[in-house]
């Protein structure tokens, strides 16, 4: 190696000397002005400064190669194939490449939000959803009481809080899941707790306005909802609940919890009639919300479409991303339905003016 460097130095010295001689013996009249001052005297040796310059020139390619290797090393380490992940990061074998390796640095994990990998879309879908509901909540709650009553702010505030926590926990989990096993488990549990919180929070305003004048009924349904949600949260604390083999179990648990809402909806329809339920009761928006949640959870559990074409949906349009989009869309649909229902019930005024029709008349006019 030393002989090779010495040879390169001698070659550079020879070229510099030849260039100096040619400059000194050339026609000064034809030279550019910036070379004429170097015409004399004839320079026939290389100084120490020139040796330093040669050393610097020789170091440039070496430094460039080292920097290129460092950049390449970072790029290679940043995303890896599924087969190179540790066991605690193995989740979806149909996503072949583009995974983040373990990055035990919160700074690096948050910096990865702005890079492209298997979790990028999962992070941004719920991050934007979080920001959306924060903005809507601030606007809604900041309105004067003459426009939005305090009871509306409280009930809708519960829904906003549930939606924000759910989407925020999901964003944090997908951002920090590659940090370490301990951090991944912690935020994974928060992610599942957030789903239960959103379901509970979604029931609160609907039960309040759906059974606006039936205090005992709405309290009973609300307590049942909280009890079921607490059960889901307790199950979510179980470490094995987050394992890939329990994916279908997780989806079915949250679907079953959400479908509990079918019971008070039918009760509402029997109480006031299906026509009323689907016109002023906003039941149609509950149906749309349920379809979105169930469709998204089903795709998530079945791992469609990546199961059909492994490796083609590593970055875009994987099942988890579709599920995230459906969750945000369902929350927006539910918010709209709650607005419709609350406007109708608020127009009733005093509950004493509201007459519940007898059950027989409800049956007769149920589908009119």
Q: What is the pLDDT of residue 18?
A: 63
pLDDT the model gives residue 238: 84
pLDDT tens figures, 239-276: 777 777 777 888 888 888 888 888 998 898 888 888 87
- CA 86 to each of CA 82, 92, 101, 183, 271: distance values in angstroms, whole numbers, following the listed order: 9, 13, 8, 14, 55
pLDDT along the chain (368 residues), means of 10: 62 64 53 45 50 59 59 58 91 92 94 95 97 96 85 92 96 96 93 92 91 88 92 85 77 85 88 81 85 90 92 94 95 92 73 50 45
pLDDT of residue 341: 87
The gap from C-alpha 19 to its chain's centroid, in whole angstroms, comes to: 62
Could you give the CA distance from residue 20 to residue 27 in angstroms, rounded to a whole number?
13
Is residue 96 within 8 Å of 314, Cβ to Cβ? Answer: yes
Evaluate the omega torsion of the peptide bond into residue 90 and state whether it is cis, within 30 degrees of 0: no
Query: How deeply is 65 buried, as exposed, middle or buried, from its count of CB atoms within 10 A (0-12, 13-18, 19+)?
Result: exposed
The predicted pLDDT at position 256 comes to 87
Where are the domain boundaries for CATH 1.20.1070 in the chain?
A: 106-364
Distance CA 2, CA 332 (A): 70
Listed in sequence order, the residues at least 6 apart from 27 whose beta carbon sits closer than 8 Å to its beta carbon are: none
99, 120, 301, 321, 324 from 305: Cα distances, Å: 18, 18, 11, 11, 14
Residue with tokens 């301990």: 182
Record the pTM: 0.73
Give which of 292, 303, 368 is closest to 326, Cα–Cα. 292
CATH class of 106-364: mainly alpha
The per-residue pLDDT for 15 is: 67
Each residue's pLDDT tens digit, 307-317:
999 999 999 99
């Amino acid at each position: 190696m030393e002989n090779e460097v010495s040879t390169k130095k001698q070659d550079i010295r020879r070229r510099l000397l030849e260039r100096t001689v040619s400059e000194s013996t050339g026609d000064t009249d034809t030279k550019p002005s910036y070379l004429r001052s170097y015409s004399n005297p004839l320079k026939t040796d290389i100084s120490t400064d020139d040796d330093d310059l040669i050393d610097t020139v020789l170091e440039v390619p070496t430094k460039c190669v080292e920097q290129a290797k460092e950049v390449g090393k970072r790029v290679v380490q940043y995303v890896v194939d599924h087969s190179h992940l540790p066991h605690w990061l193995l989740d979806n074998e149909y996503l072949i490449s583009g995974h983040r390796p373990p990055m035990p640095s919160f700074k690096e994990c948050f910096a990865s939000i702005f890079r492209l990998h298997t979790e990028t879309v999962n992070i941004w879908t719920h991050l934007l959803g979080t920001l959306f509901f924060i903005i809507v909540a601030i606007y809604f709650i900041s309105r004067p009481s003459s426009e939005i009553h305090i009871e509306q702010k409280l009930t809708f505030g519960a829904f906003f809080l549930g939606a924000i926590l759910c989407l925020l926990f999901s964003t944090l989990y997908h951002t920090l899941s590659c940090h370490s096993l301990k951090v991944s488990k912690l935020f994974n549990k928060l992610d599942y707790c957030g789903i239960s919180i959103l379901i509970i929070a979604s029931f609160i305003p609907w039960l309040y306005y759906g059974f606006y004048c039936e205090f005992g009924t709405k309290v009973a349904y609300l307590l049942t909802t909280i009890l079921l949600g607490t059960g889901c949260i307790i199950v979510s604390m179980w470490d094995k609940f987050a394992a890939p083999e329990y994916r279908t179990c997780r989806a079915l648990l949250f679907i079953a919890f959400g479908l509990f809402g079918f019971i008070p909806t039918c009760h509402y329809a029997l109480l006031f009639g299906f026509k009323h339920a689907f016109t002023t009761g906003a039941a149609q928006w509950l149906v749309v919300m349920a379809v979105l949640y169930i469709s998204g959870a089903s795709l998530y559990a079945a791992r469609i479409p990546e199961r059909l074409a492994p490796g083609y949906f590593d970055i875009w349009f994987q099942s988890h991303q579709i599920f995230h989009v459906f969750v945000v869309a369902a929350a927006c649909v539910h918010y709209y339905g709650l607005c419709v229902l609350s406007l109708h019930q608020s127009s009733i005024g005093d509950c004493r003016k509201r007459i519940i029709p007898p059950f027989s008349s409800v049956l007769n006019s149920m589908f009119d």
